[in-house]
Amino acid sequence: MNFNSQKIAWALLAPSLLILIFIGVVPFVNVLQLSFFNFNIFSAFGKVFAGLEPYRELVSDPDFLHSLKKTLWFVIVTTLVQLPLGFFLASLLNRQFVGKKLFRSIFTLPLTIAPIAIGSIWLLMARPGVGPLPFWLEKLGINYNIGEFAGHAFATVVAMDVWHWTPFVTLTFLAGLSSMPESPYESAMIDGANKFQILRYITLPLLKPVIITILFIRVMDAFQIFDEVWMLTSGGPGRATRFLSIHLVRMVVAQGNYGYAATVSVFVLYIVIIICWLALTVLQRGEE
């Protein structure tokens, strides 16, 4: 590529880069700077520089630690359910059967629904005296009520997220399975490998880039879940589903504590980066 071609390429990329900087880098720098201040809009002192003191207070804040614990559990449970379930469904959809196109169209419908509508749907489904979940669970002897029982609320939020995002995981796995080369499978069958060995030594290693992509996207999405949970439980009952996103909104809207919210945001970003790095390291070592 000559010098003129490089200038043309950078000129074409410049608008996109400027937009990314404006909507990504600038807000992050502003939040990072704000995280070192004590800033409450209801305070008469305004912005007061505090250095690293907000981070020290954050890691000893019981409300934040509780929300962090709930969020981590939510991320772990939903990821552990969605990945194997999505892979299993993708394996089924990768085969030919009657009604495959119709099933795939219906199966992906949750992805087309807005998150706040998802929360409304599940709120109606879980409401005692109205929804089918309390009705059928009562037949099994379970007094189901997400407004009273913390375990029921958390399990319902997990089920809602699995229902909403498993189609995305499935379609991503399906794209990976559809692009698999046939030669490794043919060689393995000639050598007498069974289905488990083919899965363990051929399919999963070839799907590693897909698994990493799904894992990163779902972890980041699970950490920032808000609309569905807010509509379904508003973080309750008590603090049963008060994830970090809901904790942040309550700090900003109810208390006007922008400095604290900025500190939480930066700390959560650090946690997400660490989790993704650990997942990538484990997958790479597993391949070795």
Residue ranges with strand state E in 18-111: 37-38, 48-49
Please tell me the predicted confidence (pLDDT) of residue 175: 87
Q: Residue type at 84?
A: P
157-184 burial, b for 16+ CB within 10 Å, e for fewer? bbbbbbebbbbbbbbbbbebbeeeeeeb
Instruction: Count CB atoms within 10 A of the CB of residue 120.
Output: 16
Degrees (nearest 5) of the Cα angle 117, 118, 121? 85
**Closest by alpha carbon to 92, among 215, 174, 181?**
174
Tens-digit pLDDT profile for residues 247-259: 888 877 777 788 8
**Closest by alpha carbon to 273, among 229, 223, 227?**
223
CA-based radius of gyration for the chain: 23
pTM, entire model: 0.86
Please tell me the predicted confidence (pLDDT) of residue 2: 58
Please tell me the predicted confidence (pLDDT) of residue 153: 93
List Cβ neighbours of 82 (8 Å cut-off, separation of 6 or more): 161, 162, 165, 166, 169, 218
Cross-strand bridge partners of residue 38: 48
How confident is the chain (288 residues) per 10-residue block, as mean pLDDT?
70 84 84 85 76 85 90 93 93 80 82 90 90 89 89 94 93 88 81 81 85 88 89 88 88 79 87 83 65
Query: Distance between CA atoms of 160 and 133, rounded to whole angstroms?
Result: 12
Query: Distance between CA atoms of 82 and 80, rounded to whole angstroms?
Result: 6
Please tell me the predicted confidence (pLDDT) of residue 180: 83
Cross-strand bridge partners of residue 40: 257
Please tell me the predicted confidence (pLDDT) of residue 119: 92
Degrees (nearest 5) of the Cα angle 55, 59, 64? 105
Beta strand 37-38 pairing with 48-49: antiparallel
**Closest by alpha carbon to 146, among 247, 235, 239, 237?**
237
**Closest by alpha carbon to 240, among 96, 95, 70, 32?**
70
Please tell me the predicted confidence (pLDDT) of residue 191: 76
Residue 250 Cα to chain centre, angstroms: 20
Query: Distance between CA atoms of 250 and 260, rounded to whole angstroms?
Result: 11
Degrees (nearest 5) of the Cα angle 154, 157, 161? 140
> Domains along the chain?
66-241 (1.10.3720.10)
Query: Distance between CA atoms of 171 and 177, rounded to whole angstroms?
Result: 10
Q: Could you give phi then psi for residue 52, rounded to 5 degrees?
A: -90, 0
Sign of the four-CA dihedral 201, 205, 211, 216: positive
